[in-house]
Amino acid sequence: MVDLLEYEGKIIFKEYGIPVPDFKVVSDEKDIPDFNERMVIKAQVPTGGRGKRGGVRIVNNREEAVKAMNEIKNINFDGYRAEKFILEKAYVIKKELYISVTLDRSVEMPVTLASAEGGVDINSVPQEKIYKKPINPFVGVTEYTKRELSKFLGLSEDHAQEIGRILVGLYSIYDKLDASLVEINPLGLTDKGLIALDSKITIEDDALFRHKEIPVRYFGLDEIELEAKKKGLSFVKLEGDIGIIANGAGLNMATIDLIAQAGGKPANFFDLGGTDDPEKVIQAIELASKVTNKVLFINIFGGVTRCDTVARGVVQAINELKPKFKLVVRIRGANEEEGRKILLDHGIDSMLNLDEAVERVVKLAGE
């Protein structure tokens, strides 16, 4: 998933007709203009709870804004430091609402969620105070849904038109940008009407090839996970010392569980996928070697994947990388005997039985 920062989301909101405050993105003192009115300066970080941690401040002039920005830069937001800030007009808020469009897998379609009790405590709002309505992707947002939503939120007739346009804009963003979540919290009811005072947009990263305009920024990944992501490999770093490469998420999870049950400590989750491309195998071993201290376990079940080509990739990788850790390969499936022979001919531990392979791996890690 790719989470956009608030200012990036607001730029998109504006393109889709959702009202947002006029704002300026600043990152340094020199970016802050002179002003003498009530403004808000907000840290741009990919995490919630900024307001409670002091990442959102009311300021009345440039001097206050500079002071606030420098103070906010020292705040740790779940491991992130603010490098950019939004400076925007502070509105008098009559009411804070919540509205979003997101995917509900239980009904297998997008839904709109809304509440008349938006703001920082939205997660504690009881279910009966949250509006939830599926949006049929073949129909889109209906007039009935707009009227029902407005009534649920207790809006006047004038604001009913506004909330309808906002919902259509949110759904359009969700649909056209392949988003999994498009959220406004809070949606402020002001003298100027309804205004999106915040934004949250999460894009499905598998769809990014269709959206070159979306800035690719993966938050929360370490260097190795980020490198794997850029190469199209699925990798998650764990805390152990036994590296794992398997083909398929299910086989990966099963392998991790078996190693843990046998007393070993898995170092990673690494899904090779359905490929038997030797170059991909080499890339996978190179990445896995960065988290493997003792033993690397390669567990391949060959259906579409051919065991012999995987074996050739393993041999080539070992010859090129010359790793210091020990290696155990378990391969079953298409061309397994040929693949096993290739590995054994090059002095690489190769086994067919999974339980025996796991036992071998854990034993080597303990030596």
CA distance 127 to 115: 10
Specify the residue for token string 């006029």.
Answer: 22
Asked if 295 contacts 326 with a C-beta cutoff of 8 angstroms, the reply is yes
Asked if 168 contacts 141 with a C-beta cutoff of 8 angstroms, the reply is yes
Q: Which of 6, 8, 162, 183 is catalytic?
A: 183
CA dihedral 148→154→157→163, nearest 10 degrees, is -60
Q: Are strands 326-333 and 295-302 parallel, antiparallel or unpaired?
A: parallel
Q: Which of 98, 131, 171, 174 is catalytic?
A: 98
DSSP, res 80:
B
Give the tokens for residue 305: 């994947």
CA distance 340 to 9: 52
Q: At what angle do helices 249-261 and 354-366 cross, to 10 degrees?
A: 50
Length, in residues, of the chain: 367
- Catalytic-residue membership of 171: no
Residue type, 161: Q
- Catalytic-residue membership of 183: yes
Beta strands in the chain (DSSP E): 2-3, 23-26, 39-43, 56-59, 85-89, 95-104, 109-115, 130-134, 179-190, 193-196, 200-203, 234-237, 242-246, 268-271, 295-302, 326-333, 349-351
Residues identified as active-site: 98, 183
